[in-house]
Amino acid sequence: MWTAIGLMVVVGILADMVTKNKSIELKRLKHEIELEKLRLQTFDKETEKMRLELEQSKQALIEMKKDS
């Protein structure tokens, strides 16, 4: 009987540990997704900035060719 009770306690502790580990893993994945979203936003902003700089350079080159 005591063996069964001891076994139930151990199983309960292990189940609690697994649940906590899954909860931690879920939080980690949520943070990882949020970080990836921020990286994508940064990439989009940098891409747009580079596009604008390229357009400005193109316009400056066109103006230089017109002047010469």
The model's pLDDT over 33-61, given as tens digits with 9 standing for 90+, comes to 999 999 999 999 999 999 999 999 999 99
Q: What pLDDT, on the 0 to 100 scale, is given for residue 2?
A: 84
Q: Does 4 reside within a domain? A: no
How big, in percent rounded to 5, are the helix, strand and coil portions of the chain? 95, 0, 5
Q: Does 21 reside within a domain? A: no
- Phi, psi dihedral angles at 65 (to 5 degrees): -70, -35
* Entry pTM: 0.67
Number of domains in the chain: 1
Rounded Cα–Cα distance for residues 19 and 13 (Å): 10
Task: Domain of residue 39: give its range.
Answer: 28-68
What percent of the chain has a predicted confidence (pLDDT) above 70? 100
Q: Does 59 reside within a domain? A: yes
Q: Does 16 reside within a domain? A: no
Q: Does 41 reside within a domain? A: yes
Q: Does 45 reside within a domain? A: yes
Q: Does 58 reside within a domain? A: yes
